A and B are shown apart, each in its own frame.
Chain A
Amino acid sequence: MESAFLIEKGVIILVVFGITMLIALYSTFAERVLAGYFQDRLGPNRAGPGGLLQPLADGVKMFTKEDFIPETPNKLLFILGPGLAMTTALMTSAVIPWGRQLTIFGYTATLQAADINIAMLYVFGVISIGVYGIMIGGWASNNKFSLLGAVRASSQMISYEVAMGLSMIAVLMVSGSLSIHEIAENQHGFIDWNWHGHKFAWPSWYVFKQPLAFLIFLICAFAETNRTPFDLPECESELVGGYHTEYSSMKLGFFLFAEYVNMFISSAIIAIVFFGGYNYPGMDWVNAHLGGNLATILGTLVLFAKIFFFIFFYMWVRWTVPRFRYDQLMNLGWKILMPLAILNIVITGFVLILTAS
């Protein structure tokens, strides 16, 4: 039992790691193609069929470039920065439920590396460590642009983590659990809604119960992943690349890659917490008629479809909304999103008390 458990978790971790890397790799490609399409161009389409080998070419380029370390008293921290950014980006995937149970030769495996009961707390903890990679890297670069980028990154992340956490509290009040697996399970099925005698059935996704929390969480997720319109830490036009000005070769690659891994993971969390995760309409029917394994595999595919939509959404926003000014960023975070999140908690509390009694 013990070894089977270890093998199961090991396989899941390896597969999740591989898929995360693959998706992050092709996100870089998708970003460039989508950027082209949004600007009436075609994007890279020369390497391989339709340009599909472009990420490979980029990777080879990154590896073969000169690995330059600037004149800095903190060579160790300089090297540690991108590694930390990458590690923390990947750590979050441990608690994400990718599906329900799979039964293989009588052995039941859960498609989740670790179903811990404080998963949401763990996610927030890892996200807040994520800023250290950028901070340490930017500071150890011994460059004022990098330092400014690092300062911006840390203040931005701290500011938006507050609103992000508060928006999540309202969701946790509804779900009653910190475990992401349970949050996903709670969104199974439908809400029956009676409106003037007409019956409607909504998927019981939290985005319908907590639209305001979703909006706040989405905006904060953009800020936490340093994506446009909140890409102030790495803006080329002001800071020559911000915290990764001094980085080259694969260290730069790690920083850029970590951003795409973060994007994938945060898309996964948005999809699971607000859009029902692996639940889809008709899941019970498939489960009853076509078998539990098929229902699980379909659910995982549905989850990935939702994740891909949000990755597309990230890129869509990037090529639409221009960058915020720094004071606008702070105003939005502290003066608008945080009070709104608190208001949302209060409203949710009242509604919960009223419906309970």
Chain B
Amino acid sequence: MTDYGAISLTGRKKDVSQKEMTFSEKLYLPGIIKGMGITLKHFFSKKVTVQYPDEKREFSPVYRGQHILMRDENGAERCTACGLCAVACPAEAITMTSAERKPGEEKLYREEKYASVYEINMLRCIFCGLCEEACPKEAIFLTEKISNADYSREGFIFGKDKLVMKPEQQVL
């Protein structure tokens, strides 16, 4: 038989008892002095504050922040507007309109079909990363960027202007 009463996961377990207090406990002063010792110890302890704008906490490599629509090594958009990300999205945040590539746009779009409109509603997005998993063309990824706040609901619908990778980000 396991004595469940003796188990202490934190090692700080204390049994509660209703027995009468001793004189020193009734005085309360030893208890208060002990408590003040504890707070003084914390006064000199290392502070856990991260002073955000000055120092930023490092993200985990798998952190899921704002989305990015990738370009390939030639600078052409990878997305073919297949719609798998929109199907996979549990929050139904993604919507897109497809278009056909015209002759002379080979530098802009990798394949014949591309997304002329690609919108993610950031208020609906739950940053689950299922779009990233669904994408067969490795076109959408979740980055470490925290998506910005805005003043209006319209501002949270991110179009291609905010999502497509900027040329200066091309370091793959």
Contact = CB atoms under 8 A, between A and B. Distances in A.
Interface of A: 34, 36-42, 45, 316-317, 319-321
Contact of B48 (A41, A316, A317, A319): A41
A320 B35 contact: yes
A320 B45 contact: no
A45 B51 CA distance: 10
A37 B43 contact: yes
A40 B42 CA distance: 6
A320 B51 contact: no
Which 6 residue pairs spanning A and B have beta carbons closest together?
A: A42-B49, A320-B39, A320-B35, A320-B36, A37-B43, A38-B39
B49 A316 contact: no
A325 to B, nearest CB: 13
Nearest to A42: B49
Contacts of B43: 34, 37-38, 316
B39 A40 contact: no
Interface in B25-48: 32, 35-36, 38-40, 42-43, 45-48
Contacts of A45: 51
Contacts of B42: 37-40
Contact of A37 (B32, B36, B47): B47
Interface of B: 32, 35-36, 38-40, 42-43, 45-49, 51
A268 to B, nearest CB: 22
6 contacts: A34-B43, A37-B42, A37-B47, A41-B48, A45-B51, A321-B35
Contact of B49 (A41, A320, A321): A41
A321 B32 contact: yes
Contact of A320 (B32, B46, B48): B32
Chain B interface main SS type: helix
Given A40-B47, A40-B48, A42-B49, 12 more contacts: A37-B43, A38-B39, A38-B43, A40-B45, A41-B47, A41-B49, A45-B51, A316-B36, A316-B39, A316-B43, A319-B39, A320-B39
B45 A42 contact: no
A254 B67 CA distance: 51
Contacts of A316: 36, 39-40, 43
A34 B49 CA distance: 14
Contacts of A320: 32, 35-36, 38-39
Contacts of A42: 47, 49, 51
Contacts of B48: 40-41
Contacts of B46: 40
A317 B32 CA distance: 9
B18 to A, nearest CB: 19
Contacts of A40: 42, 45-49
A127 B132 CA distance: 69
B32 to A, nearest CB: 6
Among the interface residues A36, A38, A41, which one has the most CB atoms of the partner chain B within 10 A? Answer: A38
Contacts of B47: 36-37, 40-42
A40 B47 CA distance: 5
A37 B39 CA distance: 9
Nearest to B51: A42
Contacts of B35: 320-321
A320 B32 CA distance: 8
A220 B170 CA distance: 70
Nearest to B31: A321
Contacts of B38: 320
A285 to B, nearest CB: 33
A41 B42 CA distance: 10
A320 B35 CA distance: 6
Nearest to B49: A42
B55 to A, nearest CB: 12
A316 B42 CA distance: 11
A252 B51 CA distance: 31
B38 to A, nearest CB: 8
A229 to B, nearest CB: 9
A109 to B, nearest CB: 39
